[in-house]
Structure 1
Amino acid sequence: MTHSTKNSLPPIPSGKKFDAIVVGSGISGGWSAKELCEKGMNVLLLERGRMIEHVSDYHTATMNPWDFSHRNQAMPLDELKKYPVQNRTGFTITEATHQHFVNDLDNPYVEEKPFDWIRGYHVGGKSLMWGRYSFRFSDLDFEANAREGIATDWPIRYKDIAPWYDYVEKFAGIAGDRDGLPHLPDGQFQPALPDNCVEAHLRKSVNGMFPDRRVISARAAHLTAPTKEQTSLGRAKCQFRNLCMRGCPYGAYFSTQSATLPAARQTKRLTVRPHSIVNSLIYDEKTGYATGVRVIDEQTHEWHEFKASIIFLNASALGSTFILMNSQSNRFPNGMDDSGQLGRNLMDHHFHVGATADYEHDLDKYYYGRHPAGLYIPRFRNLPGQANQPFKRGYGFEVYTNRENWDHAYHDEGFGADFKEKATHFGNWKITLDAFGECMPYEDNRVYLTTDVTDKWGQPVLKMDVHYRENETLMRKDAKEQAVQMLERAGFSNINGFDAQAHPGLSIHEMGTARMGTSPENSVFNKFNQHHLVKNVFCTDGASMTSSPCQNPSLTYMALSARAADYAVKALKRGEIKS
């Protein structure tokens, strides 16, 4: 069986063997491909969606509101109906950005309980649309399960991953300050993004009034002082456009397209095949290894098999778990796992709780450009030495500011000097403190395969049975109260606490369902993100998370991917993995 060349897909003969296959091209998949290529491996990078090339395929990146048919204010109804789930975010499905999100009608799933599965199926995955906040985990996080005697222990500690955080931060480019917080370790930073006047006021006020907490600059994957390595890849300093979700033609924020893919391509060892839906892993009963992957061509529906010595699953937490669950054989009749944990412990940060307020000062001040990231208030509950709260773990606040009615001139009538003068007058400054809280690893928060519904290609789909519990409810109550209290003491007005009760999934930080652990009895993957039983299979995306620290997790995926790739290549060379 030979490969279809439709739409200029690489003419790869079905059955061809590579040194490594990477499934998924998002944040972790891009890193896996880059590292394996740079270590001498010939890599096939499989992406289930279309190709998006850097710059040339960011079709809306430089468009003005008046360039869109509906001024980017509305979507045609016949288009909008394709995104009933993706549109639950309330901000993603616009004329400028909808092309980066999946067609829900072609890619269904079943909700036993409400679960908002937000996805992007294209080369680059969600690395094109992510929020770019990049925080390290600490031993407070890695030791939490063991300390509390719940779930299973992480098989790593901070010292194991710290050098890899250094490594990926230097390459990716993270803007931030060194804040000296043991529970939020410092990293390799470029200069932080500057505060506006409201942010400066909040930082000074809260840091002066609350000795148990700190307001810091968000650590964001935006270049503020590009290195020679970064500029050699065609990347440039952030332009403060804040149109990031359209794709950045300057390569100023970290994405697969701007960073890891160009680096991998420089090795001449990378083959990218889009439109390649990985259905399952091929397991050899005699050797105990996975020999390759079964692929459905997204466009032609033809089946193919590609082979490799090493396979990295980076298809997103639930995408990788789907592949493992669908990889059934005589040895693994229920999917590639013996622990019983595959599909369990699904976590997502709970958020949309906090407070909003007005700032009625500094009305004669504004700032240049559009802020791509703001402030962050790291976790301040249940830290070492503190009195315990009625809930376990903690939350951090993302802080957003804006000027009320700043765009009124778009809609006002007039011209000349009077109109220009009127255009410079805005309303009050606005501020929002939005908490992101840790979700505990509940074994019965899980996903299943079901054939009650099938996708466009005849595959089973996932059924989601996930909900938040008492611990998350108590945490949210505290987060709302503390947000109100900080804004009150900092002198803001018109303060309103809120709790929007978002469902799991909406934070788009899915973690768990194929966790790392200390043995095949309690987990799917080991301390090197290597399958306990099928030694040439690795997973370094959100599926492998053992718990869900309240920090944004993407930086940890990057570090784990680089670390696992290093281990895999060395293990192959030592003969510990048979090629």
Structure 2
Amino acid sequence: MNQNTVYDAIVVGTGITGGWAAKELCENGLKTLVLERGPMVKHVEDYKTMNDDPWDQPFKNRLSLEDEKKHHKQKRVGWAPTDATKHFFVNDLEHPYQETKRFDWIRGYQVGGRSLTWGRQSYRWSDIDFEANLKEDIAVDWPVRYAAIAPWYDKVESYIGVSGEKLGLPQLPDGQFLPPMGLNCVEEDLQKSLRSKFDDGRLLTIGRVAHITENTVEFEGRGPCQYRNRCWRGCPFGGYFSSNSSTLPAAERTGNMTLRANSIVHGIIYDENTKQATGVKVVDAETGEKLEFNSKIIFLCASAMASVGILLQSKSESFPNGIGNNYDELGRNIMDHHYQLGASAKVDGHLDKYYKGRRPNGFYIPRFANLDEKTKREGFLRGFGYQGGASRDNWSEIVAEFGYGEAYKKAMLQPGGWQIGMTGFGEMLPHHDNRVTLSEEKKDKWGLPQLDFDVEFKENELKMREAIKEEAVAMLKSAGFKNVNAYDTETGPGLGIHEMGGARMGWNPRTSVVNKNNQVHDVPNIYVTDGAFMTSASCVNPSLTYMAFTARAANHAAEQFKMGKFV
């Protein structure tokens, strides 16, 4: 590659937002360089465990002791990495970070990023979310409202394919949906119970998930979900949305994209005369070579904390503490969602029923607390929702009985009883002292400063966690389920894998980092469109909102570029 080339745009990162930025910029005619710090992953070709069965993994899909050491922080999430997915999660020994307070930073450094391993739950925000900070005098006000983002939600949903059920809820706007996946018999029982035994409007629906569920719509080479539930290995059918199967190929088809993997961006170059960014500094991950690439527009889509780290490292005479950080707002207001707490139960009956396929989705219970005076709760602000599912245990539950003979052999051929569980996802407030900084002493293998997290759940979050458990237990008991137990796994922020904030959006450059168009206030040709720009967190999975804002920002950048605003 010629380092003297001046690209129209550079996109840093290839995950959920990087793919969308690349697609929109390239389709608008901009010559775009896309940089990814991890290795290349080609759609289908590089999904090396996509068809493996459990017996194909040497440790029954568990990590070896050696691999556990390499993923000692990544495995905090519990369900990953496994032997079949470890290559899509970072090696913690090679990519360390510091924890002044515990922060579970789960990452995937490869082309496609975490779009290869995300949970695919796709929910819109409402004005209840966008207006909450202003109404409650928390942090700063969002400079946008739902009406400004709704058309971009439409665009993204229609392109990626989101299946779901329309509900007409003000707190969870409906979208452009493909046919929903089905609930099973136990989930339907809980659905009926919530409808009949609670008077606060709570309900249960199938999750809104980025999976194609019908053949009748053209998704440019992607096929419908095959219900294999091997999504975290890479889907060869393109049944679920990822950058690799969708947005990056779309960008490539334009002929305007140049993609360079193994390129660690660690700084933005700033021109003191033009007051604009002119390019990025890169370390080649394989050779250690130091490079610079130039462009007129820069999109930071490296993931929230990584993008904040790049901005903090981008120091100049005008920005001695990091670009856009003259008011000490960069790296603050870090948020996540509550995770790994809820309740589970055993279910009697329905032993004559089972389900077909391995549905890569569960049920969803939308937020029902603190929506109005009727649903107001004492002790905490904002709300929470639940994701869960019901299934039949396997034959192993009879092992404890030490059975033998004909009855035991027959039992081994039958599934066990039903069980059900739900996990709460609650909103975390944007506390100003929850922050990430650059370590003054610790460097990584490329000589770059490690990030140091000083983030914690505070009183509002701790009280909400108690409510999440109590409500989960109450709902399962209301349906008559047995052995209902709450759980709350020891954790810290980050484990929801919805880390956000650090370069929040706002009206005023003294209290925020980016404006309503995702531009850094003081350097308008830098756009930040991953989770770093989030001003508050809502309680729903954020990826759909990231994508909508990214598409909107990329089209804004293209318009500004064509008007000659970026020199």
Could you state the TM-score of these two structures normalised by the residue count of structure 1? 0.94
Contact 1:322 1:449 (C-alpha < 8 Å) held by counterparts: yes
Name 1:134's counterpart in structure 2: 122
Alignment of 1:198-213 (within 5 A): 198-212=186-200, 213=202
Name 1:403's counterpart in structure 2: 392
Quick one: structure 1 residues 406 and 369, their matched pair in 2 at CA, closer, same or farther if it must change by over 3 Å? farther
Which of 312, 319, 323 is the matching residue for 2:299?
A: 312
> Structure 1 residue 269 and structure 2 residue 264: aligned?
no
The structural deviation recorded for 1:333 is 0.2
Name 1:240's counterpart in structure 2: 227
Which of 96, 102, 116 is the matching residue for 1:108?
A: 96
Name 1:302's counterpart in structure 2: 289
Question: Could you say what secondary structure the match of 1:568 adopts?
Answer: helix
Alignment of 1:25-424 (within 5 A): 25-72=14-61, 74-212=62-200, 213-226=202-215, 228-230=217-219, 233-337=220-324, 338-389=326-377, 390-405=379-394, 422-424=411-413
More moved, 477-486 vs 134-143: 477-486
The structural deviation recorded for 1:386 is 2.5
Q: Distance in 1 between matches of 2:372 and 2:10?
A: 42
Question: Could you say what secondary structure the match of 1:354 adopts?
Answer: strand
Q: Distance in 2 between matches of 1:376 and 1:228?
A: 25
Question: Could you say what secondary structure the match of 2:440 adopts?
Answer: strand
Q: Distance in 2 between matches of 1:97 and 1:488?
A: 36
Aligned length: 561
Name 2:452's counterpart in structure 1: 463
Q: After superposition, give the CA deviation of every residue in 1:374-422 in whole Å (9 maximum; x if it has no partner).
A: 1100110000342521210000011122211257899xxxxxx999954
More moved, 500-509 vs 547-556: 500-509
Question: Could you say what secondary structure the match of 1:536 adopts?
Answer: strand
Quick one: structure 1 residues 452 and 227, their matched pair in 2 at CA, closer, same or farther if it must change by over 3 Å? farther
Question: Could you say what secondary structure the match of 1:296 adopts?
Answer: strand
Q: Distance in 2 between matches of 1:346 and 1:569?
A: 30
Quick one: structure 1 residues 123 and 407, their matched pair in 2 at CA, closer, same or farther if it must change by over 3 Å? farther
Q: Distance in 1 between matches of 2:4 and 2:457?
A: 44
Question: Could you say what secondary structure the match of 1:355 adopts?
Answer: strand
Name 1:451's counterpart in structure 2: 440
More moved, 442-451 vs 499-508: 499-508
The structural deviation recorded for 1:93 is 2.1
Question: Could you say what secondary structure the match of 1:401 adopts?
Answer: strand
Contact 2:397 2:416 (C-alpha < 8 Å) held by counterparts: no
The structural deviation recorded for 1:522 is 1.2
Contact 2:268 2:310 (C-alpha < 8 Å) held by counterparts: yes
Q: Distance in 1 between matches of 2:278 and 2:396?
A: 57
Q: Distance in 2 between matches of 1:562 and 1:432?
A: 35
The structural deviation recorded for 1:499 is 1.8
The structural deviation recorded for 1:209 is 1.6
Q: Distance in 1 between matches of 2:60 and 2:490?
A: 31
Is there any run of 5+ residues in structure 2 with no aligned partner, and where?
A: 400-405
The structural deviation recorded for 1:78 is 2.0
Q: Distance in 2 between matches of 1:142 and 1:424?
A: 52
Contact 2:126 2:170 (C-alpha < 8 Å) held by counterparts: yes
Q: Distance in 2 between matches of 1:486 and 1:160?
A: 36
Q: Distance in 2 between matches of 1:217 and 1:543?
A: 29
Contact 1:408 1:423 (C-alpha < 8 Å) held by counterparts: no
> Structure 1 residue 481 and structure 2 residue 470: aligned?
yes
Quick one: structure 1 residues 420 and 122, their matched pair in 2 at CA, closer, same or farther if it must change by over 3 Å? farther
Q: Distance in 2 between matches of 1:160 and 1:428?
A: 48
The structural deviation recorded for 1:423 is 4.6
The structural deviation recorded for 1:227 is 5.1
The structural deviation recorded for 1:75 is 2.2
RMSD: 1.9
Name 1:4's counterpart in structure 2: none
Name 2:519's counterpart in structure 1: 530
Name 2:549's counterpart in structure 1: 560
Is there any run of 5+ residues in structure 1 with no aligned partner, and where?
A: 1-11, 411-416
Amino acid of the structure 1 residue aligned with 2:265: V
Q: After superposition, give the CA deviation of every residue in 1:19-49 in whole Å (9 maximum; x if it has no partner).
A: 1100000000000000000010111110000
Amino acid of the structure 1 residue aligned with 2:172: L
More moved, 523-532 vs 381-390: 381-390
Amino acid of the structure 2 residue aligned with 1:32: A
Name 2:403's counterpart in structure 1: none
The structural deviation recorded for 1:108 is 0.8
Q: Distance in 2 between matches of 1:368 and 1:388?
A: 40
> Structure 1 residue 493 and structure 2 residue 482: aligned?
yes
> Structure 1 residue 578 and structure 2 residue 553: aligned?
no
More moved, 207-216 vs 544-553: 207-216
Name 1:509's counterpart in structure 2: 498
Could you state the TM-score of these two structures normalised by the residue count of structure 2? 0.96
More moved, 12-21 vs 556-565: 12-21
Contact 2:297 2:566 (C-alpha < 8 Å) held by counterparts: no
Contact 1:173 1:226 (C-alpha < 8 Å) held by counterparts: no
Contact 2:13 2:36 (C-alpha < 8 Å) held by counterparts: yes
Q: Distance in 2 between matches of 1:487 and 1:228?
A: 38
Q: Distance in 2 between matches of 1:442 and 1:244?
A: 34
Q: After superposition, give the CA deviation of every residue in 1:84-138 in whole Å (9 maximum; x if it has no partner).
A: 1011112212110100000111111110011111000000000000000000000
Q: Distance in 1 between matches of 2:421 and 2:99?
A: 31
The structural deviation recorded for 1:436 is 0.5
The structural deviation recorded for 1:64 is 1.1
More moved, 105-114 vs 492-501: 492-501
Q: Distance in 1 between matches of 2:217 and 2:338?
A: 39
Name 1:24's counterpart in structure 2: 13
Question: Could you say what secondary structure the match of 1:272 adopts?
Answer: strand
The structural deviation recorded for 1:71 is 2.8
The structural deviation recorded for 1:69 is 2.0
Q: Distance in 2 between matches of 1:180 and 1:101?
A: 38
Q: After superposition, give the CA deviation of every residue in 1:421-474 in whole Å (9 maximum; x if it has no partner).
A: 545412221111110000000000001101311111000011000000110111
The structural deviation recorded for 1:228 is 4.1
Q: Distance in 1 between matches of 2:467 and 2:384?
A: 10
Question: Could you say what secondary structure the match of 1:161 adopts?
Answer: helix
Question: Could you say what secondary structure the match of 2:259 adopts?
Answer: strand
Which of 442, 460, 476 is the matching residue for 2:431?
A: 442
Question: Could you say what secondary structure the match of 1:471 adopts?
Answer: helix
Q: Distance in 1 between matches of 2:534 and 2:437?
A: 18
More moved, 120-129 vs 417-426: 417-426
Contact 1:353 1:501 (C-alpha < 8 Å) held by counterparts: no
Question: Could you say what secondary structure the match of 2:192 adopts?
Answer: helix
Quick one: structure 1 residues 418 and 273, their matched pair in 2 at CA, closer, same or farther if it must change by over 3 Å? farther
Name 2:402's counterpart in structure 1: none
Contact 1:450 1:460 (C-alpha < 8 Å) held by counterparts: yes
Which of 500, 507, 515 is the matching residue for 1:518?
A: 507
Contact 1:171 1:229 (C-alpha < 8 Å) held by counterparts: no
Amino acid of the structure 1 residue aligned with 2:191: R
Q: Distance in 1 between matches of 2:163 and 2:36?
A: 29
